[in-house]
Structure 1
Amino acid sequence: MKSLLRSTVLLAVATGLAACPVQAGAATHLPPAEHGRYATLEHPQPVRAAEKTEAVEFFWYDCVHSHQLEEPLQAWAGRHRADVTLRRVPAVWPGSPGEQRQLGHARLYYTLERLQLADRLQLAVYRAVREAKADVTTEDTATAWAVRQGVDAQAFRTAYRSAEVGRQAEGAAELFRRYEITELPSVVVQGRYRTSPTPAGGVKEMPAVLDRLVQQG
């Protein structure tokens, strides 16, 4: 893992390597993890959830570690249904060679979210992108994929073209910056504590770290 983190940002973007250090121009080494398993954001962010703990996942459909986290994260969120709200943010980092592709993935995610299909189809998107090497970055290719999943084509296109989805996709890069994301996937708990594969000790260890962060609030 540590050797992967020494890879350049451009290599990670080009190949979808597991370590996924992110954001063009950022340092290729992660800052030291606080408390061993997570870091505290320098600038804590406001939370949307009033009565539950908020967890915000930053992911990219073509990141192998994001793919590996999906099923464990779904299981973790299911166990915490009563006390945690899980929110997802697709990764977009401006200036990277894959920026347009990332924006396409972001628009697909927010379209599925608007249609209330994101949870059901999230793993299917990963499989399409990571395993089938499908292009789902344009309206036509994303619609064709969605139709194969049983989604109504007109409903999908209407959501895809909506101003709200466009605004969310364009705003993903700002969230990426505000939450100080340096690796994918990352999960930020209660706008303050961030964990990811490297400080957690691997993708499989992340749910246990998240349990600890939820407990301390």
Structure 2
Amino acid sequence: MKTLLRSAVLAAVSAGLLAAPAAAAPDAPHEGAHLARPGLPQPLRAAAPHEAVEFFWYDCSHSAALEEPLARWAARHTGEVVLHRVPAIWTGGPDERLQTAHARLFYTLERLGAVDRLQARVFRAVRTEKADLTTEDAAAEWAAEQGLDERDFRAAYRSSEVDRAVAAVPALFARYAVDELPTVVVDGTSRTAPSRAGGVAGMPAELDRLIARP
């Protein structure tokens, strides 16, 4: 994608938008549970008529199931919808360490412009192959196997830009009151998730309805 969430996160930090989150994030991800929250905040950035923000975790089975359908949905709406992704970090939750490491991997790949090519592969590595990509060495070795330059990967992995992006994630989850994975927020005013769409398979059709609203 030409428009990266990384830039939106940094812009939000600079503008102070993340200083006062709207609500506290839950302690741990819930797959298939939803708590309705009215009055979602405004979009991160308007770069197209519509913006979709996906909140996911590489070790979430529902997030993994949504990846390819969501990518196809976004491709069908090229020029109409900008898709951003936000990796999960629930501060204080039992999976915080794993989530933080996975978020660092995601933002490293984003910095290298490799998310679109490798996102599905990361899900497959974590969920199907049970690969541990939570350390720099393991992630760098895996990235090299995918055709990325290992030195470039390590430099991005350690960069201050990736540090800032990872640090901003918990406030983004609080800002959007995310309590279910995956969740996709459209235009900052509406959302869908497995519990709202009758399962992951129903989410693309629900997204079509959300962007068709006047």
* TM superposition score normalised by structure 1: 0.82
Structure 2 segments unaligned to the other structure (5+ residues): 1-24
Partner of residue 31, structure 1: 35
Query: Cα offset for 1:23?
Result: 2.6
Partner of residue 15, structure 2: none
What are the equivalent positions in structure 2 for 1:70-109 lying under 5 Å apart?
70-109=67-106
Residues 55 and 189, structure 1, Cα contact 8 Å, conserved in 2: yes
What is the distance in 2 between the residues matched to 1:77 and 1:26?
24
Residues 54 and 185, structure 2, Cα contact 8 Å, conserved in 1: yes
Q: Provide the secondary structure at the position in 2 that maps to 1:88.
A: strand
Partner of residue 118, structure 1: 115
Task: Select the residue among 195, 204, 212 that pairs with 2:201.
Answer: 204
Q: Number of aligned residue pairs: give it.
A: 189
Q: Provide the secondary structure at the position in 1 that maps to 2:103.
A: helix
Structure 1 segments unaligned to the other structure (5+ residues): 1-21, 33-39
Task: Select the residue among 52, 56, 66 that pairs with 1:55.
Answer: 52
Residues 33 and 180, structure 2, Cα contact 8 Å, conserved in 1: no
Query: Cα offset for 1:41?
Result: 4.0
Query: Cα offset for 1:46?
Result: 3.3
Partner of residue 11, structure 1: none
Q: 1:145 to 1:26 in 2, by over 3 A?
A: closer
What is the distance in 2 between the residues matched to 1:165 and 1:101?
16
Partner of residue 124, structure 2: 127
RMSD: 1.9
Query: Cα offset for 1:29?
Result: 5.5
Measured against aligned partners, the alpha-carbon deviations of 1:90-140 in whole angstroms (never above 9, x if no partner) come to: 000000111011000000000000111001100000000001111111111
What is the distance in 2 between the residues matched to 1:42 and 1:25?
22
Q: 1:60 to 1:29 in 2, by over 3 A?
A: closer
* TM superposition score normalised by structure 2: 0.83
Q: What percent identity do the matched residue pairs reach? A: 55
- Larger relative CO (CA 8 A, sep 6+): 1 or 2? 2
Q: Provide the secondary structure at the position in 1 that maps to 2:68.
A: helix
